[in-house]
């Protein structure tokens, strides 16, 4: 249980910097700050996935909450308006905890009120429950909730407009509205004693995080009416949903979700607090796409990305023993391959997949290898994956999109003008911020690993021709890699060898990409070179929260991640710290130190800052980024799949519990 007391909850700066997240298993979510103040356009009580797991809309932004105790009025909400925070309900907030749901405890007017928020798994429904603690010596406690609706794409903002239909339908135990044609209806199942269907616009909510990100940050929301509850004798319950839901079933929904989460934790078999929290966090990224599973790359604004999914799969599913989910994810992406490539991403609007990456496809091979090692399910790999994987290799030999092809030296070339194909993919306008056309170091490491995986599978499946082919290709790639990638002057690897038009350009930037040449299952480096790579990365890139993407000594280094979208994109892979890279770094460090007790102890110490952040500032999640310069302020997405997955994977695989 993650818990914050009054000293944090009543401190606006501390409370609005801590964000909670609930997800529904189909791409939708609820999220806000523990202060109850929305600071992002993505915050909302019901962010529905209308085309699971994408098509996300902020339907219900929040409730304005008012408590009336023996005639005295207390506002429990908190909103930022221009120049003022009003109301200031966080000043009554005694406690916030994840137990297992976001739970808020208010003390005001001599009474103690507990609010709980949870989502119903598998549908776009949020349940809000309010209960009065026993023992209060008051006569009357009324709770008033005013729903504030947005009804817009979650990347956008709403302003007062005349196209909104303010009509509200009131039935016993149900309020419903359809503000805009073509969007879902919102149903509010409730047990209120009084309902008023009178709407009004609230203006100029200010979202501070959006302002900091250089984006439009002001929104108007429509208050669709009033629900009033008598709290003395009963719990107040509202189920906001795109379907009709009866509040009489709320206890059943709650019990089912508690049981589901307990099952996930028990299946993972992780007994320590960090392990249980990570298992719970990992579950939030696993969602359905059609009849199979996929992975949301990050909350709030990412959809399912091929690269992120394959990197995250071992930690999210294998470290938690969810082999059926892993199998489903591998099937989803295997069926979506095209011209030997996995989709880079499934767009949020439900359009056709995009195939503009070189590394996601290669991470697929490592994900399959890890799945087979953990599950021993060779039948599935043979029946549904092996031929797809062989076809991928053939396409890479033949050549596929964006000039991705095997060069004469057996290494993999990739690159096309204006396209960013590796995970360092930021662009400002048409300009690629980190151009890495040619032969990027991690692509060669992944390519060699893929060839070795195929060699082993071919041997296992009796494919003698394939085994001979993959073994020869791997041997040539290994020889060529060691000939051209070693940077003797810096005792590490070049980041990119650009052989385009015979340029022979060598990029000596010290970046985290070289760590994969030591961390992957099959590697090409001799022990002495592997040791030097790890030492160089440790010296220049290691921070308490992960690896920097560029050494601070480099002229292109950006230590801060602030400003406009363009300014942040300039820094995205030019010095920012990525927590997920701590996983491969720890794996590489343990490998070159033969998993010694000293190395295990050191690794466990290196993971402690991330673990502390998970249980404190992250409110049970890990972010996408930290800034490169101390104190390494968290930034980017508040919850990132591979950040959680790699911490899970390296802790469980290396027994760093």
Convert the pLDDT of each residue in 254-274 to its tens digit. Answer: 999 999 999 999 999 998 999
Whether 500 shows a pLDDT value over 80: the answer reads: no
Start-to-end CA span in the chain (Å): 18
Whether 515 shows a pLDDT value over 80: the answer reads: yes
Mean pLDDT of the 548-558 span? 97
Least confident of 134-148, 215-229, 577-591: 134-148
What does each C-alpha distance from 261 to 265, 267, 284, 411 come to in angstroms? 6, 10, 10, 45
**How far is residue 365's CA from residue 361's CA, in Å, rounded to a whole number?**
7
DSSP state of 316: I
Residues 6+ apart with CB under 8 A from 325: 286, 293, 316, 317
410: tokens are: 């057996």
CB 303 within 8 A of CB 296: yes
564: tokens are: 């406009």
Share of the chain above pLDDT 90, in %: 92
Pairing of strands 298-299, 412-413: unpaired
pLDDT band at 350 (very low <50, low <70, confident <90, very high): low
Q: For 36-55, what is each residue's pLDDT tens digit?
A: 999 999 999 999 999 999 99
Whether 156 shows a pLDDT value over 70: the answer reads: yes
Report the pLDDT value the prediction gives residue 347, as an integer from 0 to 100. Answer: 67
**How far is residue 413's CA from residue 85's CA, in Å, rounded to a whole number?**
54
Report the pLDDT value the prediction gives residue 173, as an integer from 0 to 100. Answer: 97
For the domain that residue 208 is a member of, what is the CATH number?
A: 2.70.98
Helix 323-334 vs helix 306-313: crossing angle, to nearest 10:
150
Whether residue 313 lies inside any domain: the answer is no
Whether residue 563 lies inside any domain: the answer is yes
Helix 273-283 vs helix 250-268: crossing angle, to nearest 10:
120
Report the pLDDT value the prediction gives residue 499, as an integer from 0 to 100. Answer: 61
Residues 6+ apart with CB under 8 A from 46: 28, 30, 58, 59, 60, 124, 125, 126, 186, 240, 241
Looking at 258, 282, 306, the residue that finishes a domain is 258
User: Rounded to an integer, what is the distance from CA 249 to the centroid of its chain?
Assistant: 31
Mean pLDDT of the 398-404 span? 96
Residues 6+ apart with CB under 8 A from 456: 369
Among residues 9, 23, 12, 192, the alpha carbon closest in space to that of 93 is found at 9
**How far is residue 429's CA from residue 468's CA, in Å, rounded to a whole number?**
45
Whether 503 shows a pLDDT value over 80: the answer reads: no
474: tokens are: 């791997």
Q: For 411-421, what is each residue's pLDDT tens digit?
A: 999 998 888 99
Whether 552 shows a pLDDT value over 80: the answer reads: yes
Whether residue 521 lies inside any domain: the answer is no
Report the pLDDT value the prediction gives residue 498, as an integer from 0 to 100. Answer: 84
Whether residue 10 lies inside any domain: the answer is yes
pLDDT band at 129 (very low <50, low <70, confident <90, very high): very high
Report the pLDDT value the prediction gives residue 502, as an integer from 0 to 100. Answer: 54
Work out whether the CA dihedral 119, 120, 124, 130 comes out positive or negative: negative
Least confident of 176-190, 279-293, 490-504, 632-646: 490-504
pLDDT band at 345 (very low <50, low <70, confident <90, very high): confident
Residues 6+ apart with CB under 8 A from 654: 586, 587, 590, 595, 600, 603
Radius of gyration of the chain (CA): 26
**How far is residue 504's CA from residue 369's CA, in Å, rounded to a whole number?**
34
Q: For 423-470, what is each residue's pLDDT tens digit?
A: 999 999 889 999 899 999 999 999 999 999 999 999 999 999 999 999
CB 452 within 8 A of CB 474: yes
Range 353-368 burial, b when 16+ CB lie within 10 A, else e: bebbbbbbbbbbbbbb
137 burial level (CB within 10 Å; 0-12, 13-18, 19+) = exposed
Whether 501 shows a pLDDT value over 80: the answer reads: no
Q: For 282-325, what is each residue's pLDDT tens digit?
A: 999 999 998 999 999 999 999 999 999 999 999 999 999 999 99
Whether residue 409 lies inside any domain: the answer is no
What does each C-alpha distance from 462 to 352, 373, 375, 444, 503 come to in angstroms? 37, 18, 20, 27, 42
Whether residue 219 lies inside any domain: the answer is yes
Whether 362 shows a pLDDT value over 80: the answer reads: yes
SS3 96: strand
Whether 504 shows a pLDDT value over 70: the answer reads: no
Whether residue 498 lies inside any domain: the answer is no
Question: For the chain, how many structural domains are there in total?
Answer: 2
Q: For 57-87, what is each residue's pLDDT tens digit?
A: 999 999 999 999 999 999 999 999 999 999 9
Looking at 258, 293, 323, the residue that finishes a domain is 258
Range of the domain at 628: 526-657
Among residues 169, 348, 128, the alpha carbon closest in space to that of 253 is found at 128
Looking at 212, 241, 258, the residue that finishes a domain is 258
Task: For 459-498, give the DSSP string.
Answer: HHTT-HHHHHHHHHHHHHHHHHHHHHSEETTTTEE-SEEE
Whether 247 shows a pLDDT value over 60: the answer reads: yes
Whether residue 591 lies inside any domain: the answer is yes
**How far is residue 218's CA from residue 462's CA, in Å, rounded to a whole number?**
63
């Amino acid at each position: 249980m993650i818990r914050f007391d009054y000293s944090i909850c009543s401190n606006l700066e501390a409370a609005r910097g801590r964000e909670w997240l609930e997800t529904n298993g189909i791409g939708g979510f609820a999220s806000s700050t523990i202060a109850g103040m929305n600071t992002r356009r993505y915050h909302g009580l019901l962010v529905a996935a209308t085309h699971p797991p994408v098509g996300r809309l902020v339907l219900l932004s929040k409730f304005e909450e008012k408590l009336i105790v023996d005639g005295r009025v207390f506002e429990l909400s908190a909103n930022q308006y221009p120049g003022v925070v009003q109301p200031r309900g966080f000043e009554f907030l005694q406690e916030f905890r994840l137990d297992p749901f976001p739970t808020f405890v208010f003390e005001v007017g001599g009474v103690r009120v507990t609010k709980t928020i949870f989502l119903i798994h598998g549908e776009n429904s949020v349940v809000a429950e309010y209960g009065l603690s026993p023992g209060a010596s008051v006569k009357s406690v009324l709770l008033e909730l005013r729903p504030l609706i947005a009804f817009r794409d979650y990347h956008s903002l709403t302003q007062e407009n005349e196209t909104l239909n303010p009509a509200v339908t009131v039935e016993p135990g149900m309020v419903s509205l359809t503000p805009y044609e073509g969007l879902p209806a919102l149903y509010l199942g409730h047990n209120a004693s009084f309902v008023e269907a009178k709407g009004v616009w609230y203006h100029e909510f200010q979202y501070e995080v959006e302002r900091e990100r250089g984006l439009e940050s002001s929104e108007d929301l429509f208050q669709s009416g009033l629900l009033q509850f008598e709290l003395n004798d009963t719990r107040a319950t509202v189920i906001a949903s795109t379907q009709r839901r009866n509040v009489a079933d709320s206890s059943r929904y709650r019990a089912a979700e508690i049981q589901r989460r307990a099952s996930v934790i028990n299946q993972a078999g992780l007994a320590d607090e960090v392990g249980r929290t990570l298992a719970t966090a990992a579950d939030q990224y696993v969602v359905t796409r059609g009849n199979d599973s996929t992975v949301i790359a990050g909350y709030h604004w990412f959809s399912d990305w091929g690269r992120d999914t394959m990197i995250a799969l071992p930690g999210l599913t294998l470290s938690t023993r969810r082999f059926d989910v892993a199998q489903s994810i591998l099937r989803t992406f295997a069926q979506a391959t095209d011209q030997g490539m996995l989709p880079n991403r499934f767009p949020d609007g439900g359009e056709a997949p995009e195939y503009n990456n070189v590394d996601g496809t290669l991470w697929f091979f490592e994900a399959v290898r890890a799945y087979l090692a953990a599950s021993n399910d060779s039948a599935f790999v043979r029946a549904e994956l092996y031929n797809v994987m062989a076809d991928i290799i053939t396409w890479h030999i033949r050549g596929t999109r964006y000039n991705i092809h095997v060069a004469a030296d057996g290494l993999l070339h990739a690159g096309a003008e204006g396209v960013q194909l590796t995970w360092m993919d930021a662009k400002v306008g048409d300009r690629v911020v980190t151009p890495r056309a040619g032969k990027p170091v991690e692509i060669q490491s992944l390519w060699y690993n893929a060839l070795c995986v195929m060699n082993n599978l071919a041997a296992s499946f009796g494919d003698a021709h394939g085994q001979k082919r993959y073994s020869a290709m791997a041997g040539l790639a290994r020889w060529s890699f060691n000939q051209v990638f070693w940077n003797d002057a810096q005792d590490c690897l070049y980041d990119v060898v650009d052989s385009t038009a015979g340029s022979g350009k060598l990029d000596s930037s010290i970046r985290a990409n070289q760590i994969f040449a030591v961390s992957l299952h099959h590697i090409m480096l001799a022990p002495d070179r592997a040791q030097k790579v790890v030492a160089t990365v440790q010296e220049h890139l290691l921070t308490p929260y992960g690896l920097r993407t560029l050494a601070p000594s480099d002229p292109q280094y950006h230590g801060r991640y602030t400003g406009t979208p363009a300014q942040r994109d300039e820094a995205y892979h030019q010095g920012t710290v990525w927590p997920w890279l701590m996983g491969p770094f720890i794996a590489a460090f343990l490998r070159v130190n033969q998993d010694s007790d000293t190395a295990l102890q050191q690794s466990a110490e290196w993971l402690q800052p991330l673990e502390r952040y998970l249980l404190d500032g992250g409110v049970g999640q890990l972010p996408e980024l930290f800034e490169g310069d101390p104190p390494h302020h968290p930034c980017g997405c508040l919850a990132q799949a591979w950040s959680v997955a790699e911490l899970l994977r390296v802790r469980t695989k290396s027994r760093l519990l």
